[in-house]
Structure 1
Amino acid sequence: MYAYITELQPTEAILALQRQLCSPPTLNVLILTFLNTPQTSSAMYQIAHNIALRTYACELSRLLLPSAGFQFNVAHAKPSHFSEFSSMKMARTFEELCQTVWKLFGALLNIVAIQKEAALANGQGDYLTKLTYRNQADRPSLPMPDVSVADAMSDIDTDMPDEDWGIYIDEDILEDEQGEAELGERNSAPIGHVWSAATGAPWQKAQGKALRRQLERTYVRRLALFNICINNSNMRCNTLQAVVGMFAHSTNTSERTIEFLSHAGLSIAPTSINRMVDRLSSEARLLFKDELSGLVSAIGLDNLEVRFDGEQPTPENPGQLVSMTSAAFFPLHSGTTKEDLRVCEELWARSPFNPHRSLPPVVFSHDRLMSMVLKMSFL
């Protein structure tokens, strides 16, 4: 073996031995022999574990660098950070920088779909074939044992067709989910000792909309797993957590729910959300002033009344009536003057909502509106 490794000019015998050792069947036999030998079995598993762990650590460490773009400071939040956020771009970065971990998460999220192929490969003593997904199929296919390593690698290097992620889940898919749940309640027998995640529902190969739904969920959950990993290693890597926290705040999610999401690694803390909202409000006020300072703007006012009733109103404390006025600013085109806005005076004079209307109301139509716009030189 030392001559095989260090010989500068190998002989024909060494070249023949090299070709024989590099063939997939021979490599599989060698690995199987080491694994089945008590003296080398534990060492082989330890070597495989160390290689895998170091590969995962090396790939994930690339995401912790500031240059990766996953670090977010809530004290310097800007609206552009949310408007320019793209989960697809984030996923492509994960897939490019962490190809091994990306495929690992895909396999872990679809164990039911690959467990038979994994058992078959182990039973055949095949340790060179990757268990991965084909396009438009949720099950991998094992290449023939006599193919070369290069052909096998190039033939099965494609992962799940996650380009289909983000598909709009319409009512038909929701009906399919309900139908699958009802089917699972009726069928309680296992098929090949393989059970799905649904209670009592035997696993079946996903097809059509079910396959697309499975791919979409796999893609999104891989994003969540990556972000949980890097956030747990570096608290500054919280881009997705900040987006989830802002979404939760905008939908009036309870503070306890946000705290749960924060502990699970899917959101930032409520205090951080409040600081981020204060920062964004300051940015919005400055942007609002800058936009309106050099433009002629139309202002729409609306009066409204809100009554805040107590939990148990009494004659002494029936509730509170608050009158408010909301205003909407509409920045006009560059070059617009105040004289161009007299069309608004004309519309208000004919509006049915004007109690002091002096002109007959206007029957609005697209043609009439365009005629008024051209007549008043609004554009």
Structure 2
Amino acid sequence: VNEILDLLYTNLETYPSVRTWVFQKVETVYTLDVRQISGPQFGLCFNASHLHSEKIHEFLYTKLSSKLERDTLALWNLLISLLAPDPSTVTGVRLTKYRKGKRKDNTGTDAVVDYEMDNENLEDGGKILDHEAEIDEMAVHDLGLITVVCQYLCHIASIMAHSTNMRCNALQTAIGFFLEASNAPKTVCELLAHSGMSVSAATTSRMLGPLRSQCEMKLKGLG
């Protein structure tokens, strides 16, 4: 089947029709995933009048990323592919970092030396990366990179879902509360709100009202 599809896709006469068909099918698949995220059943719709502090505390990137990967795998894999780093760039960064570390060990100073990453350096890199200690360091670095990429994915998926349904605002609400708690400048709040990464300052204030009342009731209950 793949060979037939490749043949149709590479043929000059059938290419336009096949390309249009593929785009339509792909668009349908990813649109369904975004609509699923933005739906109330996905759990990312925060209502100001029914918001509880427990719901805010339960919001975690790890839970959201797991849910996105499980329920919208096609969209998740697409975003991972689009955000994947250039392998040659990653290799260059690792080798430069390694050589700077070795230079520091040899001199006993914090001096930083720039190294030119030519073809010979990259070939020698294969031997360097075979060392167990370096592999362990790479594993830690990669784990951190994966965590950051997962956060990127959560932000991108949440922004797309929020654009589809303005009530799908869990991540935006959490960021809005953080900005309020950190006393962020108005210009920063407006920038993040207009970019789809946060709810507006006015929306944050409306949501904080019920939460303040809940906290006051809990404090009264404690005596």
TM range (shorter): 0.7 to 0.9
Listed one character per residue, the Cα deviations across residues 62-110 of structure 1 (whole Å, up to 9, x for unaligned) are 1222111111112332211212223222222211221010011111111
User: Cα deviation per residue 1:298-339 (whole Å; 9 max; x = unaligned)?
Assistant: xxxxxxxxxxxxxxxxxxxxxxxxxxxxxxxxxxxxxxxxxx
Task: Give 5+ residue unaligned stretches, structure 1.
Answer: 1-21, 115-137, 139-175, 192-204, 293-379
Distance in 1 (CA, whole Å) between partners of 2:201 and 2:189 is 7
User: Aligned residues: percent identity?
Assistant: 19
Q: Is the 8 A contact 2:35 2:164 kept in 1?
A: no
Give the Cα–Cα distance (whole angstroms) in 1 for the partners of residues 82 and 193 of structure 2: 24
- After superposition, the C-alpha distances for 1:270-292 in whole angstroms (9 at most, x for unaligned) are 11111222222122112211231
Deviation at 1:250, TM superposition (A): 0.9
Counterparts of residues 150-189 of structure 1 (less than 5 Å): 186-187=114-115
Residues 105, 285 of structure 1: alpha-carbon distance in 2 compared, 3 angstrom cutoff: same
Please report how far the alpha carbon of residue 59 of structure 1 lies from its aligned counterpart in structure 2 after TM superposition: 1.7
User: Which of 142, 148, 153 does residue 222 from structure 1 map onto?
Assistant: 153
Question: Within the alignment, does 1:276 sit opposite 2:207 as a pair?
Answer: yes
2:179 equivalent to 1:248: yes
> What is the match of residue 49 of structure 2?
75
Deviation at 1:49, TM superposition (A): 1.1
Residue 51 of structure 1 deviates from its aligned partner by 1.4
Aligned counterparts, 1:134-149, within 5 A: none
Show structure 1 runs of 4+ deviating over 6 A.
none
Structure-1 residue corresponding to 2:106:
none
* Number of residue pairs aligned between Structure 1 and Structure 2: 194
Structure 2 residue 167 is matched with structure 1 residue 239: no
Corresponding residue number in structure 2 for 1:92: 66
Number of the residue aligned with 1:65: 39
Greater relative contact order: 1 or 2 (C-alpha under 8 angstroms, separation 6 or more)?
Answer: 2
Write the deviation string for residues 185-230 of structure 1: whole angstroms up to 9, x where unpaired.
8246576xxxxxxxxxxxxx99233212211111111111110010
Distance in 2 separating the partners of 1:38 and 1:246: 54
- Which amino acid letter does the alignment assign opposite residue 245 of structure 1? G
CA distance in 2, matches of 1:277, 1:57: 33
User: Which one has the bigger strand percentage?
Assistant: 1
Q: How many angstroms apart in 1 are the aligned matches of 2:144 and 2:165?
A: 32
3-state SS of paired residue (2:69): helix
Q: Which has the larger radius of gyration?
A: 1
Q: Show the 5 A alignment for 1:97-136.
A: 97-113=71-87
Deviation at 1:244, TM superposition (A): 0.8
**CA RMSD after TM alignment:** 3.1
Q: Secondary structure at the match of 2:193?
A: helix
Aligned AA (1:62): Q
Question: Take 1:50 and 1:221, find their aligned partners in 2: how far apart are those partners?
Answer: 26
Taking the aligned partners of 2:113 and 2:31, their CA distance within structure 1 comes to 43
More helix by share: 2
> How many angstroms apart in 2 are the aligned matches of 1:185 and 1:45?
49
In the TM superposition, residue 260 of structure 1 has moved relative to its aligned partner by 0.8
1:329 match: none
How much does 1:261 deviate? 0.9
Q: Please give the TM-score of this superposition, normalised by the length of structure 1.
A: 0.46
Instruction: Give the CA deviation at 1:33.
Output: 2.2
Q: Note the C-alpha offset of 1:248.
A: 1.3
Give, in whole Å, the separation in 2 of the partners of 1:268 and 1:190: 47
**CA gap 1:36/1:86 in 2 versus in 1, 3 angstroms:** closer
Q: Is the 8 A contact 2:51 2:211 kept in 1?
A: yes
- Once residues 213 and 175 of structure 2 are traced to their aligned partners in structure 1, the CA distance between those partners, rounded to angstroms, is 21
Question: What TM-score do the two structures reach when normalised by structure 2?
Answer: 0.76
| Rounded Cα–Cα distance in structure 2 between residues aligned with 1:247 and 1:239 | 13
Task: Sort the Cα spacing of 1:185 and 1:278 in 2 relative to 1 into closer, same or farther, 3 A.
Answer: farther
Separation in 2 of the partners of 1:36 and 1:234?
A: 39
| Structure 2 gap ranges (5+) | 91-96, 102-109, 120-134
1:259 to 187, 190, 194: 190
